[in-house]
């Protein structure tokens, strides 16, 4: 039999050392020791990747002191159980050579499993941003829940859920970097404000190359959205916004008048700006003199 021993309680003094799960009870539950081989991972588990080094460290701790907090399972067949929460400890227990592991056995409906796993991991901030986004998408697509209902269940605002779902619209290589935590949510949100996927990728590559802060990326996005080309190092990222022909004519007239290359940008909505560059104080003085002459 898979159930070896019934526990009345387990100590929690070493929770800081071993990752714990605090899943709110739904349905009935019992606590038992279950054979490792009778446990299977939840295919809808939000977590997609497990750090091998961290798993080994946890396995070493488990060898020394055992499992402090039980994992959470549901029974799917006789002597077969599926993980609701605690897959990391289950994996580490296998590495540690355990043959059985303490577990809470919960009786819940199938549609509650993903929800419980998601809530548990989000509360502990175990998931990366893309995993959370995919989990939200799964809940919305497969459970028939609305964003408002998901918001209530996971304790997050609808705005937060919407922001996570928007991440799935980013180019694949940007999503992968976010999943690997090579960039953070702030970078991702700034990139999302850029309409063109090709420009998103170009800016993303500059983030990787130069380690730009979120504020820097926001500035770049703002410039590109206003139709302005952006210079990063020796490279220019073109906004690809073409000035109307009459604007180009005006730009040339201004450049000729000030004897310098005037820059003009214009967004598709007609908003833009004119900038007059100068190389030194003498050039600035000459430009100011030209402006004064206009007022005479």
pLDDT for the residue 21? 41
Q: How far is Cα 173 from Cα 201, in angstroms, rounded to an integer?
A: 8
Structural domains of the chain, with CATH:
31-108 (3.90.1530.30), 116-237 (1.10.10.2830), 245-293 (no CATH)
pLDDT for the residue 242? 56
> Structure pTM?
0.51
Tokens, residue 107: 């009786």
Q: How far is Cα 259 from Cα 286, in angstroms, rounded to an integer?
A: 9
Active site residues: 87
Candidates 125, 117, 109, 128; CA nearest to 23 is 117
* DSSP state for residue 243 in the 8-state scheme: P
Q: How far is Cα 106 from Cα 72, in angstroms, rounded to an integer?
A: 7
Secondary structure element (H or E) that encloses residue 176, with its range:
helix 172-179
pLDDT for the residue 118? 67
For residues 10 and 70, is the Cβ–Cβ distance under 8 A? yes
The residue written with tokens 């009870």 in the block is 25
Handedness of CA 108, 113, 116, 121 (dihedral sign): positive
pLDDT along the chain (296 residues), means of 10: 39 31 45 88 75 87 79 86 89 92 74 66 70 80 78 84 89 84 90 85 88 90 78 69 68 83 68 77 84 73
pLDDT for the residue 19? 35
For residues 154 and 58, is the Cβ–Cβ distance under 8 A? no
Phi-psi region of 226 (alpha: psi -120 to 50; beta: other; left: phi over 0): alpha
Candidates 248, 218, 223; CA nearest to 237 is 223
């Amino acid at each position: 039999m898979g159930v070896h021993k019934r526990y009345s309680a387990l100590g929690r003094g070493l929770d800081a050392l071993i990752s714990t799960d605090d899943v709110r009870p739904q349905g009935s539950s019992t606590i038992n020791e279950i054979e490792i081989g009778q446990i299977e991972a939840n295919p809808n588990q939000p977590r997609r990747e497990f750090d091998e080094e961290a798993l080994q460290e946890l396995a070493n701790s488990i060898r020394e002191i055992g499992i402090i907090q039980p994992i959470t399972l549901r029974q799917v067949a006789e002597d077969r159980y599926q993980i609701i929460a605690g897959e990391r400890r289950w994996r580490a227990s296998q590495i540690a050579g355990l043959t059985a592991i303490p577990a809470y056995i919960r009786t819940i409906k199938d549609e509650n499993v993903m929800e419980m796993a998601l809530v548990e991991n989000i509360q502990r901030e175990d998931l990366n941003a893309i995993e959370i986004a995919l989990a939200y998408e799964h809940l919305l697509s497969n459970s028939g829940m609305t964003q408002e209902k998901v918001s209530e269940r996971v304790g997050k605002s609808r705005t937060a859920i919407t922001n996570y779902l928007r991440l799935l619209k980013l180019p694949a290589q940007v999503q992968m970097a976010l999943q690997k935590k090579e960039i953070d949510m702030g970078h991702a949100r700034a990139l999302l404000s850029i309409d063109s996927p090709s420009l998103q990728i170009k800016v993303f590559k500059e983030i990787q190359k130069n380690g730009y802060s979120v504020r820097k990326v926001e500035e770049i996005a703002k410039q590109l959205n206003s139709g302005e080309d952006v210079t990063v190092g020796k490279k220019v990222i073109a906004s690809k916004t073409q000035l109307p022909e009459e604007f180009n004519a005006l730009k040339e007239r201004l450049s000729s008048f000030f004897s310098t290359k005037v820059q003009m940008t214009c967004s598709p909505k007609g908003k833009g700006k004119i900038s007059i560059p100068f190389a030194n104080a003498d050039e600035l003085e000459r430009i100011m003199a030209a402006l004064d002459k206009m007022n005479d």
